[in-house]
Amino acid sequence: MGTRTRTGASVRAATVVVAALLVLSGCSSGPATLDRAPDDSGPGTSSSDRVGEPGAESLRTKFRYFSADGRLTRDPAEVFGRCARFTGEIRNVLPQIRRDVPAAADQADATEQALDRFATAGCEAAPGMPGGGDAATCGPAYREVQEATQGLATAVGASR
């Protein structure tokens, strides 16, 4: 019976190792590829490869999602301390906006400036951490971020 238990443990250990290797090899293989429609004969593209109108449509979808997030619409003095991931996501799309929707570049710049003021005021925390700062300072600073982000959503056409 001792051999059977050892063999079962070995099989489980080998299964875990193989599963881990498959997961790791998938993570290191480069950008994820999206399949194209069956009638499209070209190769797949990663979401980071979307440039021009496909990229702009991707941005509109993101901003529709952002618009549904309470961090964009709730009282800034109450939510600023829980918005690190949200502000990080907004900051991360700014280069794509400048590339794919050049007409929105000025609004992207205004949004980046609002994000910078918010961070400089000591209001922004690392994602997953509660933000610090005084509500009297951070609330108005975050309100600027909310307004700039709403303007950015309009500029990329998400409100259509």
Indicate left, alpha or beta for 126 from its phi (over 0: left) and psi (-120 to 50: alpha). Answer: beta
Pick from 138, 124, 143: nearest CA to 84: 124
The answer to the question of residue 54 being in a domain is yes
Q: For the chain, how many structural domains are there in total? A: 1
d(CA 49, CA 32): 10
The answer to the question of residue 100 being in a domain is yes
d(CA 116, CA 145): 9
User: What is the signed CA dihedral for 114, 70, 152, 124, rounded to 10 degrees?
Assistant: 20
Domain span at 52 = 48-160
pLDDT tens, residue order, the chain (160 aa): 555 555 655 555 555 444 433 333 332 233 333 333 333 333 443 344 444 567 888 888 888 888 888 888 888 888 888 888 889 999 999 999 999 999 999 999 999 999 999 999 989 877 777 777 888 999 999 999 999 999 999 999 987 4
The answer to the question of residue 31 being in a domain is no
pTM of the model: 0.64
